[in-house]
């Protein structure tokens, strides 16, 4: 029987821990953490993500600001908004929800964010710090996944870990974290140009799927006893669901789960941990200022 990794439950526990810290800051008359989010256009997934992030802030007692812009905002205008947030002393951290419209360079926007306020941990300075193991903001999804390994005491030392996907947000940073001292996995990254994916994934003790292709990881690809982490959250139209869609992971859960030692569900696995990681980064931004 497999163990279900309950990201929702763990995220709830971490939120309580954060809320306690915020109460303490309040009691001590210190600054209340303030996270701002920029949302451009009307991508349904992005709107949901950002609304949830604002809700999370409320839950733990953070202040939050949501700045929304229509899809026709220019790159120069967006850079100006970022400059304003960089210079707003009340804002401890902020994020720019991705993807951005095609006429705006995501790299340019990310590079414009003050690394000390980069709650998403996407700025090259924070990515660089992560690579060499210096303290800094970690990208939210990789940070959340590593925390799941810790809280479930899943031993990754010396284990083979295959990361499927090489995005800047998840696959690539996660591949680096999983090989770091203390986590100590032996990491392989597979991507759209990789050959023999089935064979490589089939040999893995730990499989982390982050490609956004529903049901990509099938039972035949998974070794008995593997740990499977599913980062996929593709929206599939579903007339029965209240929202009109349901979320589909990258793993064929029903058939893969019986072969696993541990597995994350979708929803309720990695997603809530991503959200809570953003709160942790924002709290860290405030604490580093207090110091
Ligand atoms: N788009 C998908 N995931 C993320 C995330 O973690 N942060 C931001 N800013 N955009 C995203």
CATH number of 29-114: 3.40.50.10860
> For residues 46 and 91, what is the distance between their CA atoms, to the nearest angstrom?
21
Concerning whether 97 is annotated as a catalytic residue, the answer is yes
For tokens 């414009």, the residue is 112
Nearest-atom number in ligand 1 for the CA of 141 is 6
Q: Which one from 118, 120, 230, 252 is the annotated catalytic residue?
A: 120
Domain boundaries, the chain: 29-114, 140-270
| pLDDT tens-digit readout, 30-83 | 999 999 999 999 999 999 999 999 999 999 999 999 999 999 999 999 999 999
User: 118: Cβ below 6 Å to ligand 1?
Assistant: no
Nearest-atom number in ligand 1 for the CA of 99 is 1
Q: How far is the CA of 254 from the centre of ligand 1 (A)?
A: 27
3-state class percentages of the chain: helix first, strand second, coil last, to nearest 5: 45, 20, 40
User: 169: Cβ below 6 Å to ligand 1?
Assistant: yes
Query: What's the burial of 52, exposed, middle or buried (CB within 10 Å: 0-12/13-18/19+)?
Result: middle
Q: What is the dihedral of CA 8, 12, 15, 20, to 10 degrees?
A: -170
Which residue has the CA at smallest separation from atom 3 of ligand 1? Answer: 98
Strand partners, 69: 40
> For residues 275 and 252, what is the distance between their CA atoms, to the nearest angstrom?
24
Which residue has the CA at smallest separation from atom 9 of ligand 1? Answer: 97
What pLDDT does residue 289 have? 76
CB 235 within 8 A of CB 44: yes
As given in the structure block, the two tokens for residue 87 are 């210079």
Nearest to 158, CA basis, from 121, 206, 106, 122: 206
CATH number of 140-270: 3.40.50.720
CB 212 within 8 A of CB 232: yes
Do 29-114 and 140-270 come out as alike in CATH topology? yes
What pLDDT does residue 288 have? 84
Concerning whether 120 is annotated as a catalytic residue, the answer is yes
| pLDDT tens-digit readout, 188-242 | 999 999 999 999 999 999 999 999 999 999 999 999 999 999 999 999 999 999 9
How high is the mean pLDDT of the chain?
A: 97
Strand partners, 230: 209
User: At a CB cut-off of 8 Å and minimum separation 6, what does 58 contact?
Assistant: 64
Give the distance from CA 81 to its chain's centroid.
24
Strand partners, 207: 162, 228
> For residues 243 and 44, what is the distance between their CA atoms, to the nearest angstrom?
11
| pLDDT tens-digit readout, 105-150 | 999 999 999 999 999 999 999 999 999 999 999 999 999 999 999 9
Q: Report the predicted TM-score, pTM, of the whole model to 2 decimal places.
A: 0.96
Which residue has the CA at smallest separation from atom 11 of ligand 1? Answer: 98
Nearest-atom number in ligand 1 for the CA of 139 is 6
């Amino acid at each position: 029987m497999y163990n279900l990794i309950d990201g929702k439950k763990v995220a709830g526990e971490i939120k309580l821990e954060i809320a306690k810290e915020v109460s303490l800051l309040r009691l001590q008359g210190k600054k209340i953490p303030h996270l701002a989010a920029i949302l451009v256009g009307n991508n349904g997934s992005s709107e949901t993500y950002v609304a949830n992030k604002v809700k999370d802030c409320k839950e733990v007692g953070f202040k939050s600001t949501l700045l929304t812009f229509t899809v026709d905002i220019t790159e120069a205008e967006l850079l100006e908004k970022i400059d304003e947030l960089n210079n707003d002393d009340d804002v401890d951290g902020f994020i720019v929800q991705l993807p951005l419209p095609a006429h705006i360079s995501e790299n340019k926007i990310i590079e414009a964010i003050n690394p000390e306020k980069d709650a998403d941990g996407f700025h090259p300075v924070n990515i660089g710090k992560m690579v060499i193991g210096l303290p800094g903001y970690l990208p939210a999804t990789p940070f959340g996944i590593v925390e799941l390994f810790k809280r479930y005491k899943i031993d990754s030392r010396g284990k083979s870990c295959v990361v499927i996907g090489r995005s800047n947000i998840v696959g690539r940073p996660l591949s680096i974290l999983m090989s770091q001292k203390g986590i100590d996995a032996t990491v392989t990254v597979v991507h759209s140009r990789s050959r023999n994916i089935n064979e490589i994934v089939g040999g893995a003790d730990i499989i982390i799927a982050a490609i956004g292709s529903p049901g990509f990881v099938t039972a035949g690809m998974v070794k008995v006893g593997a740990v499977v982490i599913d980062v996929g959250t593709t929206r599939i139209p579903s007339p029965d669901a209240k929202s009109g869609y349901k979320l589909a992971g990258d793993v064929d859960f029903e058939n893969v789960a019986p072969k696993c030692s541990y597995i994350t569900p979708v929803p309720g696995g990695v997603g809530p941990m991503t959200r809570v990681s953003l709160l942790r980064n924002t709290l860290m931004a405030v604490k580093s200022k207090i110091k």
